[in-house]
Amino acid sequence: MKGYSAFSLVRNALGGHRFWKPVWRTPELKKSYDVVIIGAGGHGLSTAYYLAKKHGIRNVAVLEKGFIGGGNTGRNTQVTRSNYFWPQSAAFFDHALKLYENLGRDINFNVMLSQRGVLNLAHSHHELETMRRWANAIRINGIDSELMTPAQIKKLIPLVNLDARFPVYGGFIQPRGGISRHDAVAWGYARAADALGVDIIQQCEVTEFEIANGKVTGVETTRGKIAAKQVSIAVAGNTSVLAAKAGFRVPVTSMALQAMVSEPIKPCLDTMFTSPVIHMYVSQSDRGEIVFGAGADTYTSYAQRGGIPVLEENVAALLELIPAFSRLRLMRQWAGIVDITPDTTPIMGKTPVQNLYISGGWGTGGYKAIPAGGDTMAHTIARDEPHPLIADFGLERFESGALIDEGGASGVAH
């Protein structure tokens, strides 16, 4: 892999950008691999990267039915934060944020992390009290979080309307939270994994599992059979579909979560903020677009498009908090299929099938977890035992009852 540097940029610019090489191979599919990962989104690619880098397992294929990062990795609103209530979630998501903080250097790809702060607004005294408790829990978890008064919020976001239908009483911010460029995360991990020998196979859909004596031995795909010692599933909204093929059930409901962007405008919003009550979150991208979204459609859906009623609610909520945006035109709207679990905590680790692993149930918050998801799943696959950070995230928690209910602690209801 040729590293990117200021020098390489200048040299290629002077060459009229005619000499850039493809940044990953298009390899031939082999008959067998040590590890097959299903899904070339952020989680699948980062798992492959850390397997190769930290565990020396390089005979790995990442199978993707579409294209790299074309699912939820390319459809989210790029928010990175670790302001979680429960210690297990906080430790896991802060591990992700710490990895994000050095990711550009680690994979030699600029993921454009911008730690502009993630602010939650409270719209009543009661909500502010709950947020105070939440913000303090985050601090006890060793993560940055600060309460803010309405005056401080107004200073941070001059455009915000504090006297909305539900007035702003205050809020709290995680200053280290922010946004990064989601395509860069997918591409960066793909390039780095490819350089370590991982085969990324696009346009290759897994249709069946080969299972003998309760142990997975390979997969059937639209491009033929592939033998594998270990298989890992990282397919977001399609988790139930693949689990059913492997003969077990997962407690997830797949729903369409939508987001949208406005036309680009000059910088006017240099933080990311969210309102759980008025229900929306918004940030401004580096290109100047206003990026926002809110709730999922409330029924099972595999259609990657959102309903008009939810779109209308999203827009109404945004305009309630920033009326000035009413003059903007919406440029694009889309949806991703999110797999929501009963306790809104992901499902990670082993499955009832031996040597078959799962990373799913990410709901509406998988993007922020990508580096930690890959790191801990690589450990889990390499040692056939869950990484300590995800020991409580296994499927067995639904039977034991040890749920990690983050429903109230995630800013929006995911």
Binding site for another protein (CB under 8 A): 238, 240-241, 249-254, 298-303, 307-309, 342, 398-400
C-beta of 335: minimal distance to another protein in Å?
Answer: 13
**Closer CB to another protein, 177 or 360, in the complex:** 360
C-beta of 28: minimal distance to another protein in Å?
Answer: 30
- Per the CB < 8 A criterion, the answer to whether 198 and 58 are in contact is yes
Burial (Cβ within 10 Å: 0-12, 13-18, ≥19) of residue 41? buried
**Closer CB to another protein, 193 or 256, in the complex:** 256
Place of tokens 């990711």: 103
C-beta of 239: minimal distance to another protein in Å?
Answer: 9
Rounded to 5 degrees, what are φ and ψ at 293?
Answer: -170, 180
**Closer CB to another protein, 194 or 343, in the complex:** 343
**Closer CB to another protein, 102 or 298, in the complex:** 298
d(CA 109, CA 43): 17
C-beta of 295: minimal distance to another protein in Å?
Answer: 13
**Closer CB to another protein, 253 or 333, in the complex:** 253
**Closer CB to another protein, 118 or 337, in the complex:** 337
C-beta of 200: minimal distance to another protein in Å?
Answer: 24
Angstrom distances, CA of residue 123 to CA of 158, 173, 233, 273? 18, 15, 40, 14
Angstrom distances, CA of residue 83 to CA of 172, 175, 346, 395, 409? 10, 10, 16, 24, 8
C-beta of 212: minimal distance to another protein in Å?
Answer: 23
H helix runs in 120-169, sequence order: 125-140, 150-156
- Per the CB < 8 A criterion, the answer to whether 344 and 414 are in contact is yes
d(CA 35, CA 63): 11
